[in-house]
Amino acid sequence: RVAGTYHHLSRVKIHDVGNTLSADLQPGGILTINDRQFDLFEAHCHTPSEHTIRGTPADLELHLVHQDSAGKIAVIGLLFDRAPGTHAVDVLITPPPTSAPLDEPLGIRHLLPEGSRRFVYTGTRTTPPLTQGVQWVVYEEVQSVGADALAAFSGRYGPNNHPIQPLNGRSVSLI
């Protein structure tokens, strides 16, 4: 069982951490996996994606990183392909001149595609320290990211993805 409760966040600050942008999201909401609660604390992006759907990578992957009271990590992975116009995720990938707060509240739940199936598995964190035992929830539906925002992000930070890894006997559930 996987469920999430997320708030509109009014104090989101975006940081340039060298190889990506990182957003502080505390307190941002709760992800529940099999009765374990994980608190949302951070978001960052990779281009191209670190997960594939039926062998096809997406242009961008957003990670919503959560932690439980014992320090265990759970990550929601959201996939995006470029499209004309402006989209909700664009604000998280537009490089600020310095660390800067967002001008408007961020609605995390609006980034989660309603009704989308999700792939769930236990794997490894894709950023240092590459911690094992991470609970992953990757949404199957590929959403849209603005072509201009993606080009700016990719030009400054891409490619910054961890190479796709073999399953190595991992069990992946589609819920």
Would you call 15 a catalytic residue per the annotation?
Answer: yes
pLDDT of residue 71: 96
Residues 145, 153 contacting (CB under 8 angstroms): no
Which contiguous run of DSSP H or E holds residue 151? helix 147-157
- Residues 69-124 have pLDDT tens digits of 999 999 999 999 999 988 989 989 987 766 777 877 788 888 999 999 999 999 99
The average pLDDT across 6-28 equals 87
pLDDT of residue 107: 86
State whether the Cα torsion 76-82-83-89 is positive or negative. positive
Q: Nearest to residue 172, comparing CAs of 138, 132, 130?
A: 138
Strands 21-24 and 52-53 come out as unpaired
pLDDT of residue 97: 66
Point out the catalytic residue in the list 8, 15, 87, 162.
15
The average pLDDT across 35-56 equals 96
**Domains assigned to the chain:** 2-162 (3.10.200.10)
